[in-house]
Amino acid sequence: MSQRRVVVTGLGATTPLGGNVDSTWKALIAGQSGVRLLTDDWRELLPVHFAARVATEPAEQMERVEMRRLDRSEQFALIASREAWKDAGSPDDIDKERLGVVIASGIGGVITLMDQFNILNEKGARSVSPHTVPMLMPNGPAANVGLELHAKAGVHTPVSACASGAEAIGYAFEMIKNNRADVVVSGGVEAACHQLPMAAFAAMKALSTRNDDPARASRPYDLDRDGFVLGEGGGILVLEEFEHAKARGAKIYCEISGQGLTSDGYHIAAPDPEGNGVQRAIKFALANAGLTAKDIVHLNAHATSTPAGDVAEANALRKALGADADHVAVSATKSMTGHLLGGAGAIESVFLVKALEERLAPPTINIENLDPAVTVDVVRDKARALPAGDIAALNDSFGFGGHNVVLVFNSI
């Protein structure tokens, strides 16, 4: 079998910066923050009073009856997938047995789970919604998108905490590479802005507590970073076999040419300070893509704004890329979107595709004093132009459990 190549032919998103890709990208390039004070009464129960909720509520983009049988994470998946599918030219006449869906969620329908638990306690078992299980299952977002598109090549949901979204895109890439599918709708979503997950992350001391200045709380690489900011939303990419895309005259954004997957075997939540797993994932991804560090001009970093994680990652990047790290513009977009957990690697892949298309690396905001331990070239404050010609970029994502995923995209 000749080598099958995989390209990106559609994008969709709903994020703290906008209800679609275009509005999100504009806000991102302008350096806007999507982080706001929560308006929920329960915030007073928590040490953290802010998060990055989606900019456009699903109710503005969806019918009420459809919404009531979908968890919020499933609503995000359908909204972003519909945009991506339309962006891909709505190829409804393709062979559905060659159409797959891989959409991840780190946590699943936790808001549904908690709401129905409250109903059980208050009103009894008979009042628990019969839609509860399809709403809380982590594969629910993928399943609902698969149903809507009649996808029959396989519907999958990798779960690897905050690496889930990137792992989903890598899985979709492999489905096409391995000739299981010609088109795969892929990405990740998360809807966990709820008091329980927030209290739980706060208990781990993982969240920023900068309650007096939420918009400046997510500050990857800054000396005074104190944790991540929880975000919600999701990103979707339509991946397609290159010849298939050309044959139907699809708009082709770029190629996805490789992935690298490793695990740390170090700690359930803390990053390996040596970043060995990250370095190996980068090397595997480049080899898989048939590229070298010389080809890479941009990287969308995982950089969540935690004290340990940002430096461990930056060190690993420097070690893996060596002197070539000097020409890699590193953007930490969680400074604007917050951390979408299972949606993070997906929305950041959407950003990477847009960066290649627009030749523009998004800024990293809120760095007042760059941590001197960070020895990579961070794009600070303002977006930066990327070079003309053939270029390639990386997206790295990591998850609790020691999961490392690196994806390679290149211009075509």
**298 catalytically annotated:** no
Please state, in angstroms and rounded to a whole number, the distance separating the CA atoms of residues 410 and 291: 10
* Choice among 49, 156, 162, 403 that is catalytic: 162
Task: Figure out which of the listed residues 86, 92, 97, 127 binds other proteins, where binding follows CB under 8 A.
Answer: 127
Which is closer to other proteins, CB of 1 or CB of 65?
A: 65
Query: Shortest Cβ distance from residue 133 to other proteins (Å)?
Result: 9
Taking CA atoms, 332 is separated from 86, 211, 301, 304, in Å, by 28, 21, 5, 8
**302 catalytically annotated:** yes
Please state, in angstroms and rounded to a whole number, the distance separating the CA atoms of residues 43 and 291: 47
Lookup result for tokens 């270029």: 391
Question: Is the distance from CB of 183 to CB of 240 less than 8 angstroms?
Answer: yes
Q: Map residues 43-82 to x or -, x wherever contact with other proteins holds by CB under 8 A.
A: --------------------xxxx-xx-------------
Task: Figure out which of the listed residues 39, 44, 126, 388 binds other proteins, where binding follows CB under 8 A.
Answer: 126
Q: Map residues 344-383 to x or -, x wherever contact with other proteins holds by CB under 8 A.
A: ----------------------------------------
Q: Which stretch in 126-134, 165-173, 258-266, 299-307 sits in contact with other proteins by CB under 8 A?
A: 126-134
Residue 115 main-chain phi, psi, to 5 deg: -60, -45
Which is closer to other proteins, CB of 130 or CB of 372?
A: 130
Please state, in angstroms and rounded to a whole number, the distance separating the CA atoms of residues 362 and 27: 10
Which is closer to other proteins, CB of 68 or CB of 205?
A: 68
Query: Shortest Cβ distance from residue 192 to other proteins (Å)?
Result: 24
Please state, in angstroms and rounded to a whole number, the distance separating the CA atoms of residues 136 and 110: 6
Query: Shortest Cβ distance from residue 84 to other proteins (Å)?
Result: 25
Question: 14: which strand partners?
Answer: 234
Helical ranges in 324-379 per DSSP H: 334-337, 344-358
Which is closer to other proteins, CB of 134 or CB of 258?
A: 134
AA identity, residue 48: V
Question: Is the distance from CB of 366 to CB of 222 less than 8 angstroms?
Answer: yes
Which is closer to other proteins, CB of 63 or CB of 122?
A: 63
Roughly how many angstroms between the first and final C-alpha of the chain, as a whole number? 22
Query: Shortest Cβ distance from residue 146 to other proteins (Å)?
Result: 17
Q: Which residues bind other proteins (CB under 8 A)?
A: 63-66, 68-69, 126-127, 129-131, 134
Catalytic residues, by residue number, are 162, 302, 339
